[in-house]
Amino acid sequence: MIAFLLLAQLAGAAAPAPAPAPFTYRFDEVKSRVYRYPRGDETNELRVQAKQTADAGDVVRTNWLGRAVVAVPERASRFEISSGTRVRLASIEPGVLLVLEQGKVKAFFDALTGGEAVERRVATPGALLAVRGTRYGVDVDGGGQTSLAVFEGTVEVISANPATKPFLVTRDQFCTFKPGTAPRIVPMGSMGMTERSWQNHSSMGSMSQGRGSEGTGTMPGSNGAAGGSMHGSTPMGPKR
C-alpha cells in the first residue's frame, strides 16, 4: 500500500500542469471586407462578420476599406484594425495577444480585475510592446519600419536587438524603430501630431492583398475616413 501511494504521488508530481485557457478573439465590429485565414492557411479564406470569433494562430486581413475591432475579453484588451492591415492572433511568444505584420492598429487595454499580473503584448517586426492600462497606435510599413504613438499610459518597448535595452515611451510621445536601427523618441507635439491626426494619417506603407476576392495588387494604407478610428476621436471604453 505504501509503495502504491508513493507511486501515485510521483505520478501526480510528474503530470504536466494544465494548459491555460485559450483566449477568445471576438470581432465586435466589422466594416467592409475583412478576411480570416484559420491557422494562417492562405488557401482557406473566410469572410468575417461581426460577433464571430477567431482562434489563436489565425491571420486577419482587412482590404483597403475594411476595418475591424477585435476584443480579447480575458485580457480586457481591444484592437482596432485599420484598412490595409494584416495581423496574426497570438504568438508562441508568451503574453503576445497580437502580431502586427503590416498596417495600422490602435490598441486599448483596460484595467484587469482581480489584480492579475499578466503580460499583454503586441509584437512588431522590431520589438515587443508591453503595457499596463494603456492606449496607443502602432503602424508597420512594408520594410518593417514601425511607428508608435502613445495616447495614454506608458509602453515598454522590448527591442529584438539584444544590444538595445528596453525603454519606455510615455503619453504624448512618438517613437520609430526597426530591426537593426536605434529607436528615436520625440514629443508628438513637436511633430504636430495628436490622436485625431494619427487616426486620419495615412499608413506608412502599402501591402500586397495576396489571395482574396479583390485579386492581387497593392493595397493602399488607411487614409481619411477609411483609415481613421471606427469611433472617430473618442476612445473605446473609459479612460484609465
Using pLDDT thresholds of 50, 70 and 90, give the confidence band for residue 114: low
The dihedral through the CA atoms of 212, 80, 158, 56 has a sign that is negative
Contact 100, 82 (CB under 8 A): no
Residue 4 has pLDDT above 90, yes or no: no
Using pLDDT thresholds of 50, 70 and 90, give the confidence band for residue 116: low
Q: Which of 85-89, 126-130, 175-179, 224-228 has the highest mean pLDDT?
A: 85-89
* Residue with the three cell numbers 510599413: 141
Residue 240 has pLDDT above 90, yes or no: no
- What Å distances lie between residue 111 and 2, 67, 128, 232, CA to CA? 49, 25, 20, 23
Q: What is the average pLDDT across 157-161? A: 89
* Residue with the three cell numbers 495616447: 151
Contact 195, 177 (CB under 8 A): no
pLDDT of residue 194: 87
The 3-state DSSP composition of the chain as helix, strand, coil percent (nearest 5) reads 15, 40, 45
Check: pTM over 0.85? Answer yes or no.
no
Structure confidence by residue, pLDDT tens digits, 181-203: 878 899 998 888 888 888 877 54
Residue-averaged pLDDT of the chain: 78
Q: Which three cell numbers stand for residue 223?
A: 487614409
Question: What DSSP string runs through 27-78?
Answer: EEEEES-EEEEGGG-TT--EE--TT-EE-TT-EEEE-TT-EEEEEEGGGTEE
Q: With 0-12 CB in 10 A as exposed, 13-18 as middle and 19+ as buried, what is 17?
A: exposed
Q: Which three cell numbers stand for residue 60?
A: 486577419
Cα 207 to the center of its chain, rounded Å: 17
pLDDT of residue 202: 53
